[in-house]
Structure 1
Amino acid sequence: MNFDLPKDAELTRKVVREFAEKEIAPVAQELDDKEEFSYDLVRKMGELDFFGPFVPEEYGGSDVGYLNYIITVEEISRIDGSQAATIAAGNSLGIAPIYYFGTEEQKRKWLPDLCKGKILASFGLTEPDAGSDAGASQTTAVLDGNEWVINGSKIFITNSSTDISAICTVQCVTDSSDPRKPEISCILVENGTRGFTANTMHGKMCWRSSNTGELTFQDCRVPKENLLGKRGEGFHQMLKTLDGGRLSIGAMGLGGAQGAFELGLDYSKKRKQFGKPIGSFQANAFKLADMATELEMARLLLYKACWLMDNNKLNPKISAMAKLVCSETYYRAANHAVQLHGGYGLMKDYAVERHYRNQKLLDIGEGTSEVQRIVIARNIGVPGRSM
């Protein structure tokens, strides 16, 4: 067994870390304070091929694989979760469904600009009354001649309401004749289509400079050809999309935990109480030791999942485990880091305060920690309903 990262992955880490520290770190807090989405950073990240890393070059991607993609998200999250969310959602929820399930025409129409960050795509899954129970979607699509007529709403949709948001994959009920097992399909809806409204949500606790939208569909008509894949495959497409997306959330947890750990370690060396650096006190030293240990465990599991993904062997159990472990590692790391900072950790002048807020979404987004445990339980043979 060889645990050395490939040279291209090491280069990816170096390039992304330099970018994050030089371009993102100086503006992260200001963007967070203003709840401002940065088109400038998206443009620069697009120029560096942060979008489309698993997409072949013929469609505009860089085709460097999932491990390089996850390291990109990890390194951006080390500095700022909001910008990492833009990349993670842009790839796993925006690009991936079109690449994996789209027709040749759909791929060639959308992927080149998506892979350069010129436009963004989103995935319309969560609804006001359908979160963890994604199969309870109430948004409908009725075929009327050569058009789908869509009615319903979606909420908490990342990258959906910016000026460069161009396309949304919308999960819809396309046949409800059997209420026990409704037919679910995914349909591509262009931003700006009549009857489709995307409003930006404000007042978020975390990821304040990423874009989150609330979507409404009122007799929204799109061509029949906008169906993604085959009719009735929407739920399967959603599950496969989340399998890969959970790795990007895991990467956000891993990178955020690394960032919080480094901030806590640095502060523990500089801050003195009773004439000694606070890191020399056993209570604090143990916090740092636990953080370092959990980071090693989380990284090994996430990178194994990436290897499985790159070799077409990823399964729901491993993706759920990786997401669960990395997100909860971030929770504990951010909590310890704030505790090490004391009262200063509660102030926006210290980046650790932003880490503390940003980590919470990872316990919820793309499947709560509770849902991950259900997925894992069912995949190890525990009786019950599969998810």
Structure 2
Amino acid sequence: MDFILNEEQKLMIETARKVGEKFGPDYWRALDAEKAFPTECWQAICDAGLTGAMLPEEFGGAGLGMVEVALIIEELCAAGAGATLAQIFMLNPIFGGVSIAKYGTDKMRAEWLPKLCSGEMQFCMALTEPDAGSNSLELKTSATVEGNGWRLNGQKIWITGVPQSQKMLVVARTTPVGQIEKKTQGISLFMIDTKREGLSHTAIDKLGTNTIPSSQVFFDNVLVQGDELIGTLDKGWHQLLDVLNTERIVTTAGLIGAGRLALKLGADYANERRVFGKTPIGAYQSVQFPLAQHWAELEAAKLLNLKAASFFDNGLPFGSESNAAKLIASQAASAVAERAMQIMGGMGFSKEMHAERLWRDARLFRFAPVSEEMILNYISMANLGLPRSY
């Protein structure tokens, strides 16, 4: 078991660090206040060749693996972005890139993947519904046959990055539940234009992750062309899981980066702030110990996450590792951001110090893209052999 990074990995990390440092905490604070998408930052990431790290070389990618993607995301997020930047990787290299690379047609791969890598094209995915959150098999959005295509009707919620995208990966039922033996049957994936007649979306006002919008999406008799099917008709559920399974690795990498940044902010303040004398507050064990605890938690989450990424790259099951890593990282990132605020006292409540944004953004990932409770359900059944509890 080798924990030593190779030269290519070191170079990619250094590249990510340099790009990330160009867009430090002040950049993200300004965008958060404006609720503006980080267009300039994302383009710089694409220009540096980091977007397509795990996509095929023939289409503009680097042909590397999920380990490299996790390392890149962590470094970018630690430089100033916090956890939010990982979401843009989910939208593009994962939801767009993985689905097209694995299940798209030759035409889709040749036309869309180079534009994804260059930043010319962005993607989003419409899966979650008002009555189908964690239980995605209860989705109601339907696609009914019309000629050589389909008509799409339904509603989605908490869909990320819709206004910036050109393409949307839509998950819909193509065969009604009453006509199938299992709910995993009759589900299909489509890659459609975001701007299309009958497709509308409205923004959701939210606590954090303000630099990437979340929307409700409505499909009102939207025409889907026959060549917009991704994968196999009616057999899209397991193909969807192939796309979603890496989502947790990406999320965890972003949380580890956010946790590292919060640790630095807290420790830097503790080294400088002096009260009741000349000793910096960082000399107090009540300040040191919580930060040390969170450092250990983040390191543990990172090792688990890289193990999951390595398993993915080698075609091995990685569900337990990716779930456990996400559980630890989400709790640690939220806790260390709040601890940094506490160390800063009243100043921690100000936007000037950045910790409050890191806390607001990280808090989302305690229940998204999968909640702590569902992770614990999974571990209980898969790793402890306990009966299903839901």
State the secondary structure of the residue aligned to 2:192: strand
Q: Which runs of 5 or more structure 2 residues have no equivalent in the other structure?
A: none
| Greater displacement, 19-28 / 128-137 | 19-28
Report the equivalent of 2:70. Answer: 70
- What is the deviation of 1:167? 0.9
State the secondary structure of the residue aligned to 2:195: coil
Please give the alpha-carbon distance, in whole angstroms, between the structure 1 residues aligned to 2:3 and 2:246: 22
Alpha-carbon displacement from aligned partner over 1:258-308 (angstroms, at most 9, x marks no partner): 111111111111111222211111111111210221122111111111111
Report the equivalent of 2:212. Answer: 210
Instruction: State the TM-score, normalizing by the size of structure 2.
Output: 0.93
Q: Which runs of 5 or more structure 1 residues have no equivalent in the other structure?
A: none
Alpha-carbon displacement from aligned partner over 1:119-169 (angstroms, at most 9, x marks no partner): 11111111122111111111000111201110011121122222xx11111
Report the equivalent of 1:134. Answer: 136
Alpha-carbon displacement from aligned partner over 1:203-249 (angstroms, at most 9, x marks no partner): 32111111323221111111122111112222212222221011000
Is the contact between residue 298 and residue 328 of structure 2 (CA under 8 Å) also seen in structure 1?
no
Report the equivalent of 2:182. Answer: 181
Of 330, 338, 348 in structure 1, the residue corresponding to residue 341 of structure 2 is: 338
Report the equivalent of 1:353. Answer: 356
Is the contact between residue 273 and residue 280 of structure 2 (CA under 8 Å) also seen in structure 1?
yes
Please give the alpha-carbon distance, in whole angstroms, between the structure 2 residues aligned to 1:214 and 1:192: 15
Please give the alpha-carbon distance, in whole angstroms, between the structure 2 residues aligned to 1:315 and 1:304: 8
Of 367, 371, 385 in structure 2, the residue corresponding to residue 368 of structure 1 is: 371
The amino acid that maps onto 2:148 is N
Please give the alpha-carbon distance, in whole angstroms, between the structure 1 residues aligned to 2:291 and 2:23: 28
User: Percent of aligned pairs with the same residue?
Assistant: 30
Alpha-carbon displacement from aligned partner over 1:64-94 (angstroms, at most 9, x marks no partner): 3211211121122221133332233322222
Alpha-carbon displacement from aligned partner over 1:151-191 (angstroms, at most 9, x marks no partner): 011121122222xx111111101111247734211111112
Is the contact between residue 188 and residue 234 of structure 2 (CA under 8 Å) also seen in structure 1?
yes
2:288 equivalent to 1:285:
yes
State the secondary structure of the residue aligned to 1:84: helix
Please give the alpha-carbon distance, in whole angstroms, between the structure 1 residues aligned to 2:190 and 2:153: 12
Please give the alpha-carbon distance, in whole angstroms, between the structure 2 residues aligned to 1:39 and 1:286: 38
Please give the alpha-carbon distance, in whole angstroms, between the structure 2 residues aligned to 1:365 and 1:93: 16
Is the contact between residue 168 and residue 193 of structure 2 (CA under 8 Å) also seen in structure 1?
yes
- What is the deviation of 1:339? 1.4
State the secondary structure of the residue aligned to 2:387: coil
Is the contact between residue 268 and residue 340 of structure 1 (CA under 8 Å) also seen in structure 2?
yes
Report the equivalent of 2:22. Answer: 22
Report the equivalent of 1:267. Answer: 269
Please give the alpha-carbon distance, in whole angstroms, between the structure 2 residues aligned to 1:220 and 1:296: 46
Is the contact between residue 86 and residue 211 of structure 1 (CA under 8 Å) also seen in structure 2?
no
Report the equivalent of 1:59. Answer: 59
State the secondary structure of the residue aligned to 1:296: helix
2:388 equivalent to 1:384:
yes
State the secondary structure of the residue aligned to 1:273: coil
Aligned ranges for residues 108-257 of structure 1 at < 5 Å?
108-162=110-164, 165-176=165-176, 177-178=178-179, 181-182=182-183, 183-199=186-202, 201-257=203-259
| Structure 1 runs, 4 residues or longer, greater than 4 Å off | none
2:327 equivalent to 1:324:
yes
Please give the alpha-carbon distance, in whole angstroms, between the structure 1 residues aligned to 2:332 and 2:339: 11
Is the contact between residue 248 and residue 369 of structure 2 (CA under 8 Å) also seen in structure 1?
yes
State the secondary structure of the residue aligned to 1:172: strand
Please give the alpha-carbon distance, in whole angstroms, between the structure 1 residues aligned to 2:273 and 2:180: 61
The amino acid that maps onto 2:208 is C
Q: Aligned pair count?
A: 383
| Greater displacement, 326-335 / 178-187 | 178-187
Please give the alpha-carbon distance, in whole angstroms, between the structure 2 residues aligned to 1:24 and 1:203: 25
Is the contact between residue 338 and residue 356 of structure 2 (CA under 8 Å) also seen in structure 1?
no
Please give the alpha-carbon distance, in whole angstroms, between the structure 2 residues aligned to 1:130 and 1:110: 30
Is the contact between residue 25 and residue 354 of structure 2 (CA under 8 Å) also seen in structure 1?
no
Please give the alpha-carbon distance, in whole angstroms, between the structure 2 residues aligned to 1:188 and 1:94: 9
- What is the deviation of 1:115? 1.6
Please give the alpha-carbon distance, in whole angstroms, between the structure 2 residues aligned to 1:25 and 1:352: 10
Please give the alpha-carbon distance, in whole angstroms, between the structure 2 residues aligned to 1:60 and 1:221: 31
Is the contact between residue 67 and residue 310 of structure 1 (CA under 8 Å) also seen in structure 2?
yes
